[in-house]
A = this chain, B = another copy of it.
Amino acid sequence: MDQEPLHRRIAGDIERRIASGEWRPGFRIPTEAELTAEYGCARMTVSRAMSDLAARGLVVRRRRAGTVVAHPPVHSSALVAIPDIQSEVEGRGLAYSHRLLGRIVRPASEDEEGLGGKVVELQTLHLADDLPFVFERRLISLTAAPEAEAADFTTQPPGGWLLAHMPWTEAEHRISAVGADHETAAGLGLADGAPCLRLERRTWRDGQGVTWASQIFPGAAYDLVARFSPTKG
């Protein structure tokens, strides 16, 4: 009944004392030598435990000065995960489906320069149990992904196709609230101007724009939710 390796137990002991508030930020933790004596093990074992805590940002280590409990970051620290639509729908136990509403190939306009010369423009409606869930407008760069011109987006939604075919190296998300325009409202079955959550997503691969997507969720039906604790990455 060993189960837990020693270095994990040591790290856990320390973490518990930090989480409980017994050791507040700035508190200087016992040295490796002291912990080595306390646990009766080799220094490397203690060292590994402490390095792990340092890597997770719970403590700060400095030579000669010792190891102190880290001050929690003041900024950010709070996140929301943005799910893949299909996983999200299926995760709620609903049947996922989608309909391709429009598809044209056209030259990129001026403000879409990053996507190169030619793009595919798509309109897709994502449904959960046959009810409209998300209205998506998407541009895919044919410079970055020429295969997209031949891809069949009626069987696979464009997001899933891209995930499989074009890994990205950089992305930008933008979340905002908008009133539904006429086309969106019609697609989602809402009144014009109804509040909706818009998620814009742009991705690049090595500096070349790959895709731009605007996904619009009915405000009443969908929330982005995240639950987390500060110590867990």
Contacts and interface: CB of A to CB of B under 8 A. Distances in A.
Interface in A54-83: 55, 72, 74-83
A60 B198 CA distance: 35
B223 A171 contact: no
Nearest to A163: B74
B19 A173 contact: no
A8 interface: no
A50 to B, nearest CB: 14
B78 A173 contact: yes
A227 interface: yes
B72 A87 contact: no
A82 B87 contact: no
A200 B25 CA distance: 27
Interface in A168-213: 168-179, 193-198, 201
A32 interface: no
B75 A174 contact: no
Contacts of A178: 177, 195, 219
Given A80-B80, A223-B175, A228 B170 contact: yes
A156 to B, nearest CB: 14
A122 to B, nearest CB: 20
Contacts of A233: 233
A147 B105 CA distance: 62
A177 B195 contact: yes
Contact of A81 (B79, B177, B193, B227): B79
Given A173-B226, A227-B170, A229-B170, A78 B74 contact: no
Given A163-B74, A227-B172, A233-B233, A82 B80 contact: yes
A117 to B, nearest CB: 23
